[in-house]
Structure 1
Amino acid sequence: MIVATDIELRAGSRLLLSDASFRVAAGDRIGLVGRNGAGKTTLTKVLASQSQPAAGSVTSSGEVGYLPQDPRTGDLSVMARDRILAARSLDVIVRDLAVSAAQMGEDDPAVAERAMRRYSRREAEFEAAGGYAAQSEAAAIASSLGLPERILEQPLSTLSGGQRRRVELARILFSGAETLLLDEPTNHLDADSIVWLRDHLASYSGGLIIISHDVDLLEKVVNRVFHLDANRQVIDQYNVGWKTYLQQRETDERRRKRELQNAQKKAATLLAQADKMRAKATKATAAQNMARRAERLLNSVEGERQSDRVAKLRFPKPAPCGKTPLMADGLSRSYGSLEIFTDVDLAIDRGSRVVVLGLNGAGKTTLLRILAGIDPPDTGVVEHGHGLRLGYYAQEHENLDMDRTVLDNMKSAAPELGETETRKVLGSFLFSGDDVDKPAGVLSGGEKTRLSLALLVVSSANVLLLDEPTNNLDPASREEILGALHAFEGAVVLVTHDEGAVHALEPDRVLLLPDGVEDLWGPDYADLVALA
């Protein structure tokens, strides 16, 4: 259980949440919703004891499993299977059992005897932790999340960002924690894994807070909804499922509007009467009291909720370039003995639109990093045509300097812009006031997405390399980027699980990995997008 009492959250000097109290008990499956930047990620970090509230207190009983938007897996030399088993300390026990079993065959009787005693102790601990049944459970969870046996036998350093995130999700689901805090858990999952996760969380008996823009997930899983209102700095708590919440929230809005209109009408009548009474000195005190009653009346009702602001995203006209600004010939990449893709050829013509498809781990992100010049290929070359200006959106936001401020990141991307113009662009992406002085590393996933998109806008790129650009975005912001993508006049190479993003792009070609097969886009390929 988690109990929050009168907590206050701030981002710098900006108030995110004031005097909020609630509890998360066993059986509570809470959908935490609100626009990007409202403070959802900040709240989950506080509930997970990763940071402290500005005021108030949070207490928890039992283990809390926390999946942040950008999980850090620690030692990348650890095998994927061991990372998952570590949730119940089974990784250490299994390794010790293997070492003890080997030492039991030593010629020295004393060594063999000590190894036998240690093996017996560790075997008892292994059984107490669930034994082979627990190992099977971990393997089943991993498989359901798209992590087959061959992936589990690899070190984390050889896995893609999406695969490492799925390892972290598997570890948390395997942990047996009494309360789960999951921030966008469907990111990087294919369609089958998302369906499995919905069923798994819908039957979860512990406490759960989930941040997600997957409406199907929210409909299937949640039985309570917390709406974090960024304009009022409060949490509206609805003890109902998702569909009922939407209906009740609309009803609440109509009620608030009626109450406000009635209060305004009554207050106007009181103030008009007070103005008449002020003309007579003998009634001045009565007039003042009447004006105060009007003020109290207006303060006693909630105003209509303000509409959440949405970043205004429009790509400028791309810089002029030659007929084929970007080419790749014979690209291949391996991690150790594991071949990711081989012999990939690609020619990006001016204004062309290419979707890269392939199962998780097929090398889509790796290919974009090579095309962007961040990683070298093992073989092959990337050639820049006349006038190429690349814009790269990284799904892990590696293009941002996390130690520098929002403003400094923008200045580095577009040094030719003056201070006023830079702040104006940031303002259109909802960064204003003290927000521009925050280090990029403390931003939420949605805010990092907005900042990365702002950097693209000022780049005047004529070729965009986009890796999952709609992840972490609320519905309104997602629609904004899809509209901008549709209207962009330059070339685009897109990696995405989002069928809506592919529809907005209207691709003319598709590149299939790991085979490197290129084909004209057709409706038959649309079914592969969610599997990518």
Structure 2
Amino acid sequence: MLIALQDITFEFGARVILENSSWHINSGDRVGLIGLNGTGKSTLLRIINGEYSVSKGSVNKIKGLTIGFFNQDLLSFETDESILKVGMTAFAAAVKLEKELEALTKRLETDESEALLLEYSEKLHEFDTMGGYTMEHKTAQVLEGLGFSTNDLSRPYSEFSGGWRMRVLLARLILQQPDVLMLDEPTNHLDLPSIEWLEKYLVGYNGAVIIVSHDRYFLDRMVNKITEVYQQELHHYSGSYEDYEIEKALRVEMQTRAFENQQEYIRQQERFIERFKAKASKAAQAQSAMKRLDRLERVEQADGGPSKIRINFNVDRQPGKILCTLKDITKKFGTLTILEHTGAEINRGDKIALIGANGKGKSTLLRVIAGTEPFEGERIPGHNVVTSFYAQHQLESLTLDYEIIEELKSCGSGRSEQELRGLLGCFLFSGDDVFKKIRILSGGEKARVALAKTIISQANFLMLDEPTNHLDMNSVQMLIDALDKYEGSLVLVSHDRYFVANTANKIWEIVDGEIKEFKGSYAEWEEFKKRQAAAMAPGKPDKKEKAAPVAAPKPPVSNDQKKEILQQQKQFQQLENQLATLNAKKEQLGNELANPAIYADKQKYKEVEAAFNKVNKELEVANKQYEQVFERLVELGEA
């Protein structure tokens, strides 16, 4: 066991977040930490991390335990160093030792004393043990897994946006390999290929992993336990998120029955007390009944979660069969080509998910479809199409002096205030929240208001750019249910695979500047991609450029060694030239032997055949010499 939370209670002022809750975390646990927004998930992570102290109970950790905590607060980190250097700070001890070895190497040029050579040898062994020779390669591997190109590795950290910076910091945390890795919404900053890479990495992680995420697809694939913050307590479940949902439903049902049975018992006892408390013959029994009720441990009423409010779209008019046609579209940003001579067609009833890695042009294509992005080619809008476009930049169109409820009323949807308040509840605005001014809302809250406005529009064609970014699981599910009943068409961009899998009937992917369409669900597309990858796997070269591992500091070289290195390098170059000449000659003679006309001249055929055999023997000798010289250069450390 790595961590034991025993009967802990934690309060913020008068508000109780956790009460008498326990949790044991073991090596190999991959836990999904879930709960409604505001129930205290992030607070619990900070308790484990030692940032907050509990008012009651104990938090026990094994000696020397290391904890890595990935969260939004990390964005305060600033540096102009390359992202490779930032990632390599995970190997702080090895980096420090590397600098010491470099200093020792310089000293050995003038001082070859036995003591100094021994110190150098010991530090070299320690550097090897720490993984110093592979730290640069490992860092590059993790950064590339999280979506960076090889060329990005040398770019300064300060050049990247917030989402990409979070990837760098996630890479650094992964490379540190703490005993307990705590990740607060890690998929918010990743595209699909990066999420899939992270899943593969975390499945084999040696320590414990605790994940807070609204991405249920990620949780289903990742976790082997669920811990839920529910009614100020921690409830533990074994298995995936899907297993949790089944067991949770049973628990709620059992709690509901227990609550109802207890309420009936309480009502019976209260009737008995009320009836007989004034009668002398029954007063003692009534008093005993009152004491029993006072001592009774009350069963709390089960919280079935947020009410299932139905979101309904009102489609104002029916569009034509084709909503939009793109012909010979080209879109470039300077030297970067996003789309090149490509086209597509959106038909009535299409629910298209536009997926792929960040930087491939998904949002750009959405704007091209909407007609708000300049491009080369032709965009033909369909008949009777009424479009509503949700994207982050739409937040600018919100009226800052309006209250949230006023903003929705201004859309002219004709819905009652009760209906609008019900819809806002789906987007996490409850009670008096609906009277908040738009200007005081956070970026995430504004995004939810803009999405609610999109939902109540009477459009028959929706374009949604990352609509689930600021929603919890229940709100995502409500949006899925609404889009499932939506009679119009839509194109959406999302990295939430559960959302995509439950909304889309077509998949679009931008590949080498072309729009590739797959007619089918996300699950079918995934299966298709797996079959495609399996078919291409045998003998497929690995084209991905990888950063070379850091070179080890070298011991000083004597004058005799320097002379030999120069001789071997010269011979190596000569042999390379000789091999190139012989291979060219062999190819020429082989072509002559392959010509049927040569067999008409018996003498000529014998001469060419003899020359071919001679070249083969010379190649055999030259290859052996080449290998010997190469091996010697390796021994001398110069290959």
Could you tell me the TM-score, scaled by structure 1's length?
A: 0.69
**Identity across the alignment (%):** 30
SS of residue in 2 equivalent to 1:140? helix
Partner of 2:519: 521
Hey, what does 1:280 align to over in structure 2?
Answer: 279
**Compared CA separation, residues 274 and 314, structure 1 to 2 (3 A):** closer
Kindly state the Cα deviation for residue 45 of structure 1 after the two structures are TM-superposed.
Answer: 5.7
Aligned CA RMSD, in angstroms, stands at 5.4
Q: Deviations over 1:379-422 (max 9, x none)?
A: 6798988875432145xxx6558x99998456456535799565
Letter in 2 for 1:309: P
Look up the equivalent residue of 1:355 and give its one-letter code. Answer: A
Corresponding letter in the other structure for 1:136: H
Q: Which residue number corresponds to residue 85 of structure 1?
A: 88
Distance 1:497 1:24, change over 3 A: same
Determine the structure 2 residue equivalent to 1:7.
Answer: 10
Cross-structure match for 2:174: 173
- Checking the alignment, whether the CA contact within 8 Å between 1:333 and 1:377 is kept in structure 2 is no
List per-residue Cα deviations over 1:262-305 (Å, max 9, x = no partner): 534543443343233135256556525423423543xx142352
> Per-residue deviation at 1:507?
4.0
Q: Residue 368 of structure 1 aligns with which residue?
A: 366
Cα contact 1:319–1:389 (8 A) shared by 2: no
Q: Distance in 2 between matches of 1:328 and 1:498?
A: 26
Q: What CA distance in whole angstroms lies between the structure 2 residues aligned with 1:147 and 1:311? A: 41
- In the TM superposition, 1:279-318 aligns within 5 A as 279-280=278-279, 283-284=282-283, 286-297=285-296, 300-309=297-306, 312=309, 314-318=311-315
Stretches of structure 1 that go unaligned for 5 or more consecutive residues are 105-119
Q: Kindly report which structure 2 residues correspond to 1:62-101, keeping only aligned pairs within 5 A, or say none.
A: 64-68=67-71, 72=75, 79-88=82-91
Which residue of the partner structure matches residue 108 of structure 1?
none
Q: What does residue 186 of structure 2 align with?
A: 185
Give deviations 1:29-84, integer Å, cap 9, x for gaps.
4321224554434544665578x689779898865433347974866976543443
Residue 461 of structure 2, aligned match among 460, 463, 481 = 463
Cα shift at 1:306: 1.9
Counterpart of 1:114? Answer: none
Work out the number of aligned pairs and report it: 494
Query: Once the 2 structures are TM-superposed, how far is the Cα of residue 308 of structure 1 from its aligned partner?
Result: 0.8
Call closer, same or farther: CA 1:464–1:331 in 2, change over 3 Å.
farther
Give the SS at the match of 1:263. helix
> Residue type of the partner of 1:66?
F
Matches within 5 A, 1:93-242: 130-153=131-154, 166-186=167-187, 197-212=198-213, 218=219, 222=223, 224-229=225-230, 232-237=231-236, 240-242=238-240
State the partner residue of 2:564. none
- Residue 191 of structure 1 contacts residue 530 of structure 1 at CA under 8 Å; is this kept in 2? no
Q: Is the 8 A contact 1:364 1:513 kept in 2?
A: no
SS at match of 2:201: helix
Change (3 A) 1:428 1:219: closer
In the alignment, the residues of structure 2 paired with residue 65 and residue 495 of structure 1 have an alpha-carbon distance, to the nearest angstrom, of 31
Partner of 1:113: none
Q: What SS does the corresponding residue of 2:305 show, helix, strand or coil?
A: coil
C-alpha displacement of 1:142: 3.0
Is 2:425 aligned against 1:427? yes
In the aligned structure 1, how far is the partner of 2:193 from the partner of 2:517? Answer: 25
Does the alignment pair 1:494 with 2:495?
A: no
> Are the aligned partners of 2:18 and 2:233 in contact in 1 as well (CA < 8 Å)?
yes
How much has 1:431 moved relative to structure 2? Answer: 2.0
Amino acid in structure 1 at the alignment position of 2:484:
H
Aligned partner of 1:415 in structure 2 is: 410
In 1, Cα distance between the equivalents of 2:206 and 2:68?
Answer: 14
Change (3 A) 1:405 1:290: farther
Structure-1 separation of matches of 2:305 and 2:441: 22
Amino acid at match of 1:181: M
Cα distance, 1:236 vs. partner? 2.0
AA aligned to 1:495 is V
**Bigger mean CA deviation after superposition, 429-438 or 483-492:** 429-438
**What's the counterpart of residue 112 of structure 1?**
none
- Distance in 1 (CA, whole Å) between partners of 2:54 and 2:405 is 29
CA distance in 2, matches of 1:136, 1:177: 19
Tell me the CA shift for residue 527 of structure 1: 1.9
| Whole-Å separation in 1 of the counterparts to 2:509 and 2:460 | 20
- Give distance in 1, aligned partners of 2:522 and 2:203: 32
Higher helix share: 2
Q: Which amino acid aligns with 1:226?
A: T
Distance 1:405 1:49 in 2: 39
Counterpart of 1:332 in structure 2: which amino acid?
K
Runs (5+) with no aligned partner, structure 2: 107-119, 531-639
Aligned-pair CA distance for 1:488: 2.0
Q: Residue deviations 1:114-171, cap 9 Å, x none?
A: xxxxxx9xx9998897533111222232344454424545566887987665444323
Amino acid at match of 2:69: Y
Give yes or no for contact 2:309–2:422 (8 Å, CA) kept in 1: no
Q: Contact 2:191–2:356 (CA<8 Å) still a contact in 1?
A: no
Partner of 1:32: 33
**TM-score of the pair, normalised by structure 2:** 0.59
Maintained 8 Å contact 2:395/2:447? no
Is contact 1:331-1:378 (8 Å) kept? yes
Work out which structure has the larger RCO, using CA pairs closer than 8 Å and 6 or more positions apart in sequence: 1
Per-residue deviation at 1:228?
1.1
Contact 2:16 2:232 in 1 (8 A): yes
Residues in 1 aligned to 2:310 and 2:53: alpha-carbon distance in whole angstroms: 33
State the secondary structure of the residue aligned to 1:307.
coil
Residue range with higher mean Cα deviation, 477-486 or 503-512: 503-512
Distance 1:46 1:75 in 2: 26
Instruction: Give the direction of change, closer, same or farther, for the CA distance of 1:343–1:314 in structure 2 (3 Å limit).
Output: farther
Structure 1 counterpart of 2:134, one-letter code: A
Is the CA contact 1:6–1:21 (under 8 Å) kept in the aligned structure 2?
A: no
How far apart, CA to CA, are the structure 1 residues paired with 2:325 and 2:54? 52
